[in-house]
A and B are shown apart, each in its own frame.
Chain A
Amino acid sequence: MNLKYEVIVVGGGHAGTEAAAAAARAGIRTLLVTPDLGRLGQMSCNPAIGGVAKGVVAREVDALGGLMGRATDASRIQFRMLNRSKGPAVWGPRAQCDRALYPVAIRRALDELDSLDLFQEMVTELVVEDGRVRGARTRGGVTLQAEAIVVTAGTFLRGRIHVGGTAGVGAGRAGEAPSVELAEGLEGLGLELARFKTGTPPRVDGRSVDYSAMERQEGESPGGRFSFYHQEDVPEQRPCWITWAGTDLKEIVRTNLERSALYGGSISGRGPRYCPSIEDKIIRFPNAARHQVFLEPEGLHTTELYVNGLSTSLPAEVQLEFLRTLPGMADVRMTKTGYAIEYDYFPPHQLRHTLELKAVRGLYLAGQVNGTTGYEEAAGQGVVAGANAALKVRGEPPFVLERDQAYIGVLIDDLVTRGVDEPYRLFTSRAEFRLMLRQDNAHRRLGPLARDRGLLTRQQESILAERLREEDRILVWFRETTLTPAVAQAVLTSAASQPITEPTRALDLLRRPRVRAEALYSSTGPGRAPLARADALAAVEIELKYEGYVARERERARKLRERANILLDNDLQYMGFLTLSHEAREKLDRVRPETLAQAARIPGVSPADLQNLVLELRRRRSAGVGQ
């Protein structure tokens, strides 16, 4: 059989489904091919989307037209806005999701896209001619032809699962076969591969848990939404439970340490420091009296619980033994054992900012294959890779998000420029412009960018236009409306703010601590201000309250962009720039930055090196063409 498409996406996880959907939304004939169509958008680790920074990414994916936001709304069984006690720039929406409902919602959303086809097969080989991808072959002997291919193989490339006491087993996820031929094929293209590890905790049967010994953690009611374009029906809500790992557990882990796959020496790849196994926690922080453990419901129609905080690769019987030391879990039954997994990734300096490989035209990589962790990080890359594959087919310029435009921009630039030495996760601290990159303004930042490149559906375009108009109206109202002392009095009193004696601009009152936009907006009485939705008002409130700070951040971003304007040719002979340090020459030669600003972000390139680089470029230029 021979199938011909414009874009083919290999893999159906968070990166793959987003990539395929993004290409299809752009009207490109797209095929998603994956070994198991029953597991589209599978949550292989914890059943949750979002968090600090990651929640913003989920909203960015949504703003770009993606699937993650609506699938989260349709499957979430708890919603919390993390960091609500801090400023809105670091608020992070987080949802517990029903592990069974999420993939259903993803599948439903994919089925809405007319130009997307799905196909169940394992891709074993890529066809590359003259440095350009032409197609792929599958294990079942099907030949696929495409102008661009996005590979989103997750942890499947030569994946090996380790549980203590057993030899590692080849697998991409528990119970699923690894992808070995594809890894070998990519290696055969001359791509550099390296190895990471990550882990997952055991799952337990909720019927064997005594909740009365635990702390109940409720979600927010009604809770917010991730999706801006789609109004999904939200399921019923469930609590999470908090318990603590104490000294008994520590002792068990410590005495069995050499039986851990992680510490017994059977795993060599590097793991994430911010998501340590319980073995790691106990070795690195021996003095901590206890460690927090969250029991998260796996779904509405299952009693299974995910034991967040106890990722491990100890033998099954040790896992059960230590689980039973937790308060409320004395008689617990384990439903799945935790494990560690090792997998190949492609050190991401081999990519352009479009996620296209520098070495193979038309071949894109997205998700965990690029050394990241997290569903959101994967989804964000998926949208960008899929959009760029589509634009390439159309012969249009690439779609690149900058560091001051999106967390996704920060993520990809970090990958491409700085590389990774542990599985990469986003934090707000990675973003130098985090006041601008908020969860509340994702649609405002990214919606128009996606729309202008033809990456949204018609329906999404019209929702966006209507919402932006509404917010603009509210912004104008605050800037242009003056409130009299009498009208403002009640609002100011309830905010414990000084009363005013002169008519004052609504904007100036809004900038006072504790004064809320909604209260001011409704203070003039019904019909005096245009009707507004609560979330639009909230977004405007944040924008206006921190306007001064945000403006300074924009200015800083603008200055950096000026430096970004110095372009570096891809064929510069860095090794010959003897005035640069040896380390800098090697790093520049490896990364081949596109701009001076990018060069400045490469670790090991010092300011003196940058100065010299500028001088070298100047010399080259003054030496004239033909040198």
Chain B
Amino acid sequence: MGEVDTIVAVATGPGGALSVVRMSGPSAFEILSALCDGEQPVPPARVATLRTLKDPAERSAIDRALVVRYPSPASYTGEDLVELSCHGGWLIPALVCEACEALGARRAEPGEFTRRAYLNGKLDLVQAEAVADLVEARSRAGHRAAMSQVERGLSRRVGELRASILHLEALLAHHLDFPEEDDAPVSVDGIATDAAELAGRMVALIATAPEGELLREGAVAVLAGAPNTGKSSLFNALVGRERAIVTAHPGTTRDALEAVVQLRGFPFRLVDTAGMRETPDAVERLGVEVAFERLTEAHVVLLCVDDGAPPREPSFLARVKSTPVVVVRSKADLRKQAPQSSAPPEWCADVVDTSVVTGEGLDVLRSLLPSLVFRGMVQAGTEQPVLTRRRQTRALQAALDAVRAFHAALLSDVPPEVASSHLKEAETALEDLVGVIAVEDVLDAVFAEFCIGK
């Protein structure tokens, strides 16, 4: 038969005291019933019910679990769906899954639950992507952006843009199809003005893309500077636990260390590097090379110095000219007199005095870094939708190009009905974005990014 099959997977990540196993498809309830050995009454819909799960072959109990049944279509996938909250760890969730498989379910592929939700019309493509982001949200800001998309923030915004394009088409239609009407004629100039305004709104949304994409990836903040200037201490202080080995010996850090931290809710990948110096030590020299490499990926550089003197620009910063640099004057607690404060030099965004001993300056850094890297989002507040994926940016960019071509054509003597073919392209590009014309390989790419169970 051409039936949809029933899929099962562990929905939660490894570790933790509890795990959720999720099962969706036409046989989900039947399998659940067999799993509960058929003895107990079927749990009522959408009520968490305690059940003993048994191995179908050996009749032995696997676990005591909370079972919730979601009958179709009011479930995440739109199909009959079961969630089993069992004990965590590696073994029990795997045994539960195996038992379900023995009873006829199939192990889900990455993203398959959400894919089914999409195919059953429960989510649009942008929402589906947002769910993926939500699962792997590395920070509260990322979480907020993802949440706002599940709630259709971006879909709604794209819908508005599409409505504006339709509006332009309507104006054109009036202009072209009703030449004898006495209503105030729509001027081509007016249509061109509206198109320019629409392009402006698209530019604003596209401008959120670099930061939006960083929300998913985390911004790279590289700690750099001469040896023994307190980079690793600052790294540990910002990470909040002893990760880097800190000694008084210059050149202790050989490899680059990386940790994910949240600063004011924004995700950063903090990278501690080896001190920059000429060294005879081959291993340390390799570390310096790695440091140089990491610098080129940086979205912000924390240049550590350990004196209070006015900072000088080190030569290695020449290769990261466009990256904002914050000069961190560490070990402030060791200095006798407060350093003279002056306007930061032109090549650096700011100068911050810090002490990992007293905690001085750490909060300043925690606010400063997001405001440098996520400037647009910090200014716009958290309510604005942002583009978090390349695919979204590409589609919007294509739409923008088409709207601009339309605008340029109108202004350069191309007849409006000819120019309007650009509008059709813009509309199609936006439809690509919200999944109206989602082709199979786009779907595959989108859904392959999901972890199993979501």
Q: A427-B177, A622-B2 are in contact. Are A87 and B418 (CB under 8 A)?
A: yes
Determine whether the beta carbon of B121 is less than 8 Å from that of A87: no
Residues of the A chain whose Cβ atoms lie less than 8 Å from the Cβ of B1: 623, 627
Residues of the B chain whose Cβ atoms lie less than 8 Å from the Cβ of A553: 421
Beta-carbon contacts of A579-617 to B below 8 Å, as 1s and 0s? 101000000000000000000000000111101100110
Residues of the B chain whose Cβ atoms lie less than 8 Å from the Cβ of A290: 182
Residues of the A chain whose Cβ atoms lie less than 8 Å from the Cβ of B118: 608
Say if the beta carbon of A291 comes within 8 Å of chain B: yes
> Which residues in chain B, 274-291, are within 8 Å of chain A measured between CB atoms?
none
Determine whether the beta carbon of A90 is less than 8 Å from that of B176: yes
Beta-carbon contacts of B400-427 to A below 8 Å, as 1s and 0s? 0000000000000111111001001000
Task: Tell which of B178, B414, B417, B443 has the most Cβ of chain A within 10 Å.
Answer: B417
Residue in A closest to B4 when the chains form the complex, CB atoms? A579
From the candidates A427, A546, A620, name the one contacting B418 in the complex (CB within 8 A): A546
Spot the interface stretch: A167-175, A325-333, A428-436, A472-480.
A428-436
The smallest C-beta distance from A558 to any residue of chain B, in angstroms, reads: 15
Determine whether the beta carbon of B2 is less than 8 Å from that of A89: no
From the candidates A83, A89, A432, A581, name the one contacting B121 in the complex (CB within 8 A): A581
Determine whether the beta carbon of A608 is less than 8 Å from that of B119: yes
Residues of the A chain whose Cβ atoms lie less than 8 Å from the Cβ of B120: 579, 608, 612
Task: Tell which of A53, A89, A90 has the most Cβ of chain B within 10 Å.
Answer: A90
Say if the beta carbon of A283 comes within 8 Å of chain B: no
Determine whether the beta carbon of A82 is less than 8 Å from that of B418: no
Determine whether the beta carbon of A86 is less than 8 Å from that of B416: yes
Say if the beta carbon of A292 comes within 8 Å of chain B: yes
Determine whether the beta carbon of A429 is less than 8 Å from that of B176: yes
Determine whether the beta carbon of A83 is less than 8 Å from that of B421: no
From the candidates A434, A609, A623, name the one contacting B417 in the complex (CB within 8 A): A434
Q: A609-B121, A615-B119 are in contact. Are A87 and B417 (CB under 8 A)?
A: yes
Determine whether the beta carbon of A89 is less than 8 Å from that of B417: yes
Say if the beta carbon of A619 comes within 8 Å of chain B: yes
Determine whether the beta carbon of A53 is less than 8 Å from that of B177: yes
Say if the beta carbon of A465 comes within 8 Å of chain B: no
Determine whether the beta carbon of B169 is less than 8 Å from that of A83: no
Determine whether the beta carbon of B179 is less than 8 Å from that of A82: yes
Task: Tell which of A83, A427, A581, A615 has the most Cβ of chain B within 10 Å.
Answer: A83
Beta-carbon contacts of A549-584 to B below 8 Å, as 1s and 0s? 100110010000000000000000000000101000
From the candidates B119, B124, B424, B437, name the one contacting A579 in the complex (CB within 8 A): B119
> Which residues in chain B, 103-125, are within 8 Å of chain A measured between CB atoms?
118-121, 124
Report how far A434 CA is from B182 CA in the complex, Å.
Answer: 24
Number of A-B contacts (CB under 8 A): 93
> Which residues in chain A, 256-296, are within 8 Å of chain B measured between CB atoms?
274, 288, 290-292, 294
Say if the beta carbon of A45 comes within 8 Å of chain B: no
For chain A, the bracket of interface size reads: 35 or more
Residue in A closest to B428 when the chains form the complex, CB atoms? A556
Say if the beta carbon of A513 comes within 8 Å of chain B: yes
Say if the beta carbon of A113 comes within 8 Å of chain B: no
Say if the beta carbon of B438 comes within 8 Å of chain A: yes
From the candidates B3, B121, B173, B417, name the one contacting A86 in the complex (CB within 8 A): B417
Residue in B closest to A294 when the chains form the complex, CB atoms? B180
The smallest C-beta distance from A565 to any residue of chain B, in angstroms, reads: 16
Q: A427-B173, A429-B176, A622-B2 are in contact. Are A435 and B121 (CB under 8 A)?
A: no
Residues of the B chain whose Cβ atoms lie less than 8 Å from the Cβ of A549: 418, 421
Report how far A103 CA is from B260 CA in the complex, Å.
Answer: 84
Residue in A closest to B180 when the chains form the complex, CB atoms? A82
The smallest C-beta distance from B398 to any residue of chain A, in angstroms, reads: 14
Report how far A53 CA is from B177 CA in the complex, Å.
Answer: 8
Residue in A closest to B416 when the chains form the complex, CB atoms? A86
For chain B, the bracket of interface size reads: 35 or more
Determine whether the beta carbon of A608 is less than 8 Å from that of B121: yes
Task: Tell which of A82, A274, A429, A435 has the most Cβ of chain B within 10 Å.
Answer: A429
Say if the beta carbon of B204 comes within 8 Å of chain A: no
Residues of the B chain whose Cβ atoms lie less than 8 Å from the Cβ of A87: 414-418
From the candidates B119, B179, B421, B438, name the one contacting A52 in the complex (CB within 8 A): B179
From the candidates B2, B182, B414, B421, name the one contacting A623 in the complex (CB within 8 A): B2
From the candidates B2, B173, B415, B437, name the one contacting A619 in the complex (CB within 8 A): B2
Say if the beta carbon of B39 comes within 8 Å of chain A: no
Residue in B closest to A274 when the chains form the complex, CB atoms? B178
Residue in A closest to B124 when the chains form the complex, CB atoms? A608
Residues of the B chain whose Cβ atoms lie less than 8 Å from the Cβ of A627: 1-2
Report how far A294 CA is from B182 CA in the complex, Å.
Answer: 11
Report how far A444 CA is from B296 CA in the complex, Å.
Answer: 61
Q: A428-B417, A432-B424, A546-B418 are in contact. Are A611 and B179 (CB under 8 A)?
A: no
Residues of the A chain whose Cβ atoms lie less than 8 Å from the Cβ of B416: 86-87
From the candidates B119, B179, B424, name the one contacting A83 in the complex (CB within 8 A): B179
Determine whether the beta carbon of A607 is less than 8 Å from that of B435: yes
Determine whether the beta carbon of B436 is less than 8 Å from that of A607: yes
Q: A292-B182, A513-B413, A607-B437 are in contact. Are A52 and B176 (CB under 8 A)?
A: yes
Say if the beta carbon of B441 comes within 8 Å of chain A: no
Residue in B closest to A513 when the chains form the complex, CB atoms? B413
Residue in B closest to A622 when the chains form the complex, CB atoms? B2
Determine whether the beta carbon of B176 is less than 8 Å from that of A86: yes
Determine whether the beta carbon of A435 is less than 8 Å from that of B417: yes
Say if the beta carbon of B58 comes within 8 Å of chain A: no
Report how far A513 CA is from B414 CA in the complex, Å.
Answer: 8
Task: Tell which of A87, A427, A620 has the most Cβ of chain B within 10 Å.
Answer: A87
Residue in A closest to B184 when the chains form the complex, CB atoms? A288
Residue in B closest to A552 when the chains form the complex, CB atoms? B421
Say if the beta carbon of B183 comes within 8 Å of chain A: yes
Residues of the A chain whose Cβ atoms lie less than 8 Å from the Cβ of B180: 82, 292, 294
Residues of the B chain whose Cβ atoms lie less than 8 Å from the Cβ of A291: 182
Report how far A292 CA is from B415 CA in the complex, Å.
Answer: 26
> Which residues in chain A, 500-534, are within 8 Å of chain B measured between CB atoms?
513
Report how far A427 CA is from B1 CA in the complex, Å.
Answer: 46
From the candidates A294, A435, A579, A608, name the one contacting B421 in the complex (CB within 8 A): A435
Q: A52-B177, A579-B4, A622-B2 are in contact. Are A90 and B417 (CB under 8 A)?
A: yes
Report how far A126 CA is from B172 CA in the complex, Å.
Answer: 46
Report how far A291 CA is from B182 CA in the complex, Å.
Answer: 7
> Which residues in chain A, 287-307, are within 8 Å of chain B measured between CB atoms?
288, 290-292, 294
Residue in B closest to A82 when the chains form the complex, CB atoms? B179
Report how far A86 CA is from B175 CA in the complex, Å.
Answer: 9
Residue in A closest to B119 when the chains form the complex, CB atoms? A612
Residues of the A chain whose Cβ atoms lie less than 8 Å from the Cβ of B182: 290-292
Beta-carbon contacts of B113-139 to A below 8 Å, as 1s and 0s? 000001111001000000000000000
Beta-carbon contacts of A70-103 to B below 8 Å, as 1s and 0s? 0000000000001100111110100000000000
Report how far A581 CA is from B73 CA in the complex, Å.
Answer: 11
The smallest C-beta distance from B448 to any residue of chain A, in angstroms, reads: 17
Report how far A428 CA is from B438 CA in the complex, Å.
Answer: 28
The smallest C-beta distance from A363 to any residue of chain B, in angstroms, reads: 34
Report how far A53 CA is from B179 CA in the complex, Å.
Answer: 12
Determine whether the beta carbon of A611 is less than 8 Å from that of B176: no
Residue in B closest to A309 when the chains form the complex, CB atoms? B182
Report how far A86 CA is from B121 CA in the complex, Å.
Answer: 43
Report how far A620 CA is from B4 CA in the complex, Å.
Answer: 11
Report how far A92 CA is from B172 CA in the complex, Å.
Answer: 16
Determine whether the beta carbon of A611 is less than 8 Å from that of B177: no
**19 extra interface residue pairs, beta carbon distance < 8 Å, beyond A86-B175, A87-B415:** A52-B177, A52-B178, A52-B179, A82-B180, A83-B179, A86-B416, A89-B417, A90-B417, A291-B182, A428-B417, A429-B172, A435-B418, A435-B421, A581-B121, A608-B124, A609-B121, A611-B443, A619-B3, A620-B2
A contact set with B: CB distance below 8 Å: 52-53, 82-83, 86-90, 92, 274, 288, 290-292, 294, 427-429, 432, 434-435, 513, 546, 549, 552-553, 556, 579, 581, 606-609, 611-612, 615-616, 619-620, 622-623, 627
Subset of 5 A-B contacts with CB under 8 Å: A82-B179, A82-B180, A86-B179, A429-B177, A513-B413
Among all A-B residue pairs, the 7 with the closest Cβ atoms = A87-B415, A619-B2, A292-B182, A429-B173, A623-B2, A427-B177, A607-B436
